[in-house]
């Protein structure tokens, strides 16, 4: 897991902890270039983590950042 994902995870976690969903959506849209439906999935998965920490969030961000190759 890259240091970039960990940094992004910390920023996103702070926004979610502050109940600032709008800012979290803008962050995901502008910095990570995720479409709105993917942003919703990411935030939904993060909200269901039993142990919400930077590593867990970074794993989710990494999962959605990888394009599926066929």
Look at the chain and report how many structural domains it folds into. Answer: 1
Output the six-digit token pair for 49.
Answer: 């983590």
User: What span, in angstroms and rounded, lies between the C-alpha atoms of 37 and 48?
Assistant: 17
**What is the per-residue pLDDT across 8-40, written as a single tens digit (0 to 9) for each?**
888 888 888 888 888 888 887 776 677 788 888
Give the whole-number percent of the chain exceeding pLDDT 70: 89
pLDDT at 69 over 50: no
User: What span, in angstroms and rounded, lies between the C-alpha atoms of 18 and 56?
Assistant: 18
Domain assignment present for 48: yes
- Which residues, other chains included, contact 13 with Cβ-Cβ below 8 Å and sequence gap of 6+? 46, 52, 53, 54, 57
Q: DSSP characters for 24-46?
A: HHHHHHHHH---HHHHHHHHHHH
The reported pTM is 0.63
Domain assignment present for 70: no
The range of the structural domain enclosing residue 18 comes to 3-65
């Amino acid at each position: 897991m890259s240091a970039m994902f960990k940094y992004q995870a910390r920023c996103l976690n702070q926004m979610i902890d502050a109940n600032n969903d709008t800012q979290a959506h803008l962050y995901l849209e502008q910095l990570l270039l995720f479409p709105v439906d993917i942003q919703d999935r990411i935030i939904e998965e993060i909200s269901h983590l039993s142990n919400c920490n930077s590593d867990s969030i970074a794993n989710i961000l990494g999962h959605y950042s990888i394009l599926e190759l066929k």
